[in-house]
Amino acid sequence: MNLLLLGIISHLMSDFMFQSNKVVNLKIDKNIKGYFIHSLIVFTFTFCLTLFYGINIAFRFALIISISHIVLDYIKGKISICSPKIELATFITDQLLHFLIIFFVWKRFINHLTIPVFTASNSFDSNLFNFDTSIKEVLILVIVYLIVLFAGAVLLEKILNIIDIQIDNQSEGISMGKYIGIIERALILTLVTFGSTSSIGIIFTAKSIARFKKFDDKKHFVEYYLLGTLSSIFIALIGGLFLKNLFN
């Protein structure tokens, strides 16, 4: 199971944390260099994270994952995206297929695994939070944070693209809003996980005050802001409730 979780972590890191806009644009332009760079990133993270199972297993697992990843990305690149709704559906389908590929590759390797350095029986003892956490639970924790913080940022962008309104499209402002959203979801996810849900209102209030001037200046900004903020909070709440149940 840990190999599967490590494969998912490497995918999320490669797709959402360490895939630059330059690489994305190269792939959009059907430039083979973009696919090669992304494939190398996928291979590197997968190989490094699975080295606990030995070089042979790690190399073969990473090679199959990286090749299948790029094949799927190449096929996705051939699909004509004619509307934001299709773009959103393509994104969700693409990610589900990536997870399925990792699962089936893991099933292929499961009978050939050696005992890794870290196993599910190892645990972290925490006097601070009063729970024993297995390696598997730590990996799941990392996956949820990566999905909520970074995959969630891309998902929100796709959702907001569906709204046909004019907003400030300065790249600096968009980038800053993305980072604010990541911090917002990180705070909410952590608060919900450890049972401090009452503090979420403070975050929402602080963000609303910071954006208050735009509520008057931009006619449709309120709807855009509410959809983005509520969607962001919803994603973080789902992740937080999942982790809370996991650790209880």
133 SS3 class = strand
Which is higher by pLDDT, 81 or 49? Answer: 49
Task: Establish how many alpha carbons lie within 13 A of residue 243's alpha carbon, considering only the half-sphere containing its beta carbon.
Answer: 29
Q: How confident is the model over 184-198, as pLDDT tens digits?
A: 999 999 999 988 777
Say what the pLDDT of residue 223 is: 72
pLDDT-derived band at 83 (thresholds 50, 70, 90) equals: confident
The domain locations on the chain are 1-114, 120-248
Q: Is pLDDT at 135 greater than 50 in this prediction?
A: yes
Contact 77, 17 (CB under 8 A): no
Q: H helices of 114-151, where?
A: 135-146
pLDDT exceeds cutoff 70 at 213: no
Q: How far apart are CA 118 and CA 114, in angstroms?
A: 11
Total residues belonging to the chain: 248
**Spatial separation of the C-alpha atoms in residues 6 and 47, rounded to whole Å:** 10
Average pLDDT over residues 20-31: 87
Please say if the pLDDT value at position 70 is more than 80: yes
Distance CA 105, CA 103 (A): 6
126 bridge partner residues: 131
Please state, rounded to an integer, the average pLDDT across all residues of the chain.
83
pLDDT tens-place string over residues 95-134: 999 999 999 999 888 766 655 555 544 444 444 444 456 8
Give the pLDDT of residue 168: 55
CB atoms within 10 A of CB 2: 21
Residue 136 pLDDT exceeds 70 = yes
User: What pLDDT does residue 214 have?
Assistant: 61
Residue range 195-219: mean pLDDT, rounded: 69
The pair of three-digit structure tokens given for residue 76, joined into one six-digit string: 């996705």
In the chain, beta strands by DSSP E: 123-126, 131-134
Q: Angle 144-150-152 (CA atoms, 0-180°, nearest 5)? A: 80
Which of 85-89, 170-174, 222-226 has the least mean pLDDT?
A: 170-174
